[in-house]
Amino acid sequence: MSVNKIMVIGAGQMGSGIAQVCAAAGYTVLLNDLKQEFVDRGLGIINKNLSRQVSKEKMTAEQMEEVLSHLTPSTDLNDAKDVDLVIEAAVENMEIKSKIFSQLDSIAPAHAILASNTSSLPITEIAAVTNRPEKVIGMHFMNPVPVMKLVEIIRGLATTDEVYQTIEDITKKLNKVPVEVNDFPGFVSNRILMPMINEAIYTLYEGVATKEAIDEVMKLGMNHPMGPLTLADFIGLDTCLYIMETLHEGFGDTKYRPCPLLRKYVKAGWLGRKTGRGFYVYE
Ligand code: CAA
């Protein structure tokens, strides 16, 4: 199946990164969000990333202009009327995603694939609100999108082999590495990553070591690029809590219970880097 035009829904950190890599691979990209100011902010992130590449001489100014020329802002879901693929990267909320997918199903052409960048919500449930569950799939990018190689591709219960293959081919064209997984809570990435982060928070909560010591152990002892508490701040503590709750509810197993300290920080509005404070303080 040939894909030329892609709509990315959500111009936040993930959506803008996805739009950037799609534009860099030569696709025509619509970057959609609810308001023009959100789209502008997303385009600003892309501009900053590309300018950094130019200043490091990893890209020429002409190449940067070429990438930008593939991007068109959008604040209307009806713009999906002639796209071949939608990649949804809106907030992690089932109600909102269901609404978006149900609208998209009536707007996008019959051949279009509807993908979600959800980090843990069930693809099968998202697909069920559409009349094309066989064309719904998970395309889970990692943060920061322009740097991280992995795209976890999640097959919903009804996803066809043809749709899977198309998404795998596109992922390779984005210069990323596709890994196929089935649709269970947290998929593979967050089923393994989040309990580790949650355990690091328990280790802090129980006074086993300071936050700096916990991060240092995992960085120097396990060669992780960031310690788990720094990484939690980077991902967002609200997202970490949401994923732990999805695992806890989805498996019904107490081993996934979110640490009370994580809940407390989220209730306090200490969400990590994005709010200037999480386990660490950011200027
Ligand atoms: N956007 C774009 N590019 C970025 C970036 C960002 N936010 N942050 C860093 N970069 C680029 C830099 O420009 C630099 O590029 P070049 O090599 O071309 O010069 C490169 O990344 C390395 O950056 P730095 O040297 O500044 O810093 P670093 O070596 O410490 O790397 C990092 C930064 C890539 C973020 C690294 O710390 C890292 O890999 N951290 C772990 C990230 C991780 O685990 N991500 C997954 C999170 S989980 C997730 O996303 C899924 C989920 O569902 C929750």
Is the distance from the beta carbon of residue 56 to the nearest atom of ligand 1 less than 6 Å? yes
Residue nearest to atom 34 of ligand 1 (CA): 147
Is the distance from the beta carbon of residue 225 to the nearest atom of ligand 1 less than 6 Å? yes
Q: What's the pLDDT tens digit per position in 180-236?
A: 999 999 999 999 999 999 999 999 999 999 999 999 999 999 999 999 999 999 999
Q: pLDDT at position 161, please? A: 97
Q: Please identify, by atom number, the ligand 1 atom nearest to the C-alpha of residue 235.
A: 54
Q: pLDDT at position 283, please? A: 85
Is the distance from the beta carbon of residue 192 to the nearest atom of ligand 1 less than 6 Å? no
Could you write out the three-class secondary structure of the chain? CCCCEEEEECCCHHHHHHHHHHHHCCCEEEEECCCHHHHHHHHHHHHHHHHHHHHCCCCCHHHHHHHHHCEEEECCHHHHHHCCEEEECCCCCHHHHHHHHHHHHHHCCCCCEEEECCCCCCHHHHHCCCCCHHHEEEEEECCCCCCCCEEEEEECCCCCHHHHHHHHHHHHHCCCEEEEEECCCCCCHHHHHHHHHHHHHHHHHCCCCCHHHHHHHHHHHHCCCCCHHHHHHHHCHHHHHHHHHHHHHHHCCHHHCCCHHHHHHHHHCCCEHHHCECCCECC
Ordered by where they begin, the domains of the chain are 5-182 (3.40.50.720), 194-274 (1.10.1040.10)
Name residues of the chain where pLDDT drops below 70.
Answer: none
Residue nearest to atom 28 of ligand 1 (CA): 225
Q: pLDDT at position 157, please? A: 96
